[in-house]
Amino acid sequence: MKLATIWVGKGRVQWAEAGAAEYTRRLPAHLGYRDIQIKPEAYRGDKVAVRDAEARSILAAIKGGDRLIALDERGVDLTSEAFASLIDSAAQLGTKRLVFAIGGPYGHGAAVRTEAWKTVRLSKMVLNHSMARMLLSEQLYRASTLLWGG
């Protein structure tokens, strides 16, 4: 099984970007990790329109055989062990690629939450995409050490 993160944003927080890069660099090569950046939609006074347009871009990057996990503050709380178990479950189900989606400044459009296999939150607080990517990257690395050693 492969892993990917799809995120909406500009990547302006350099220390968080460096942290995300460091943790994903440590992932085992067999996971074939990919980081997919989507340009944020311009805000023209309608948050729903922005979320919907970004949702279309996220879903366009999903391929057959992928399982989507939406990272959203309305998702379930997981321990690191439960997060690793979720990844293992996806692999046991024959998932070709497990994709984690991080929304833009206004969150995910309804279509992403509808299409998601699971919805998980990294915090009860809303995090910007750079912080969410760094936290996700660290947890992916931690899960890989729990599942495959490190």
Residue 12 CA: distances (Å) to CA of 20, 31, 78, 103: 13, 26, 28, 15
Q: How far apart are CA 116 and CA 47, in angstroms?
A: 21
Give pLDDT tens digits for 28-78.
Answer: 999 999 999 999 999 999 999 999 999 999 999 999 999 999 999 999 999
73-126 pLDDT, tens digit per residue, is 999 999 999 999 999 999 999 999 999 999 999 999 999 999 999 999 999 988
* Cβ partners under 8 Å of residue 18, min gap 6: none
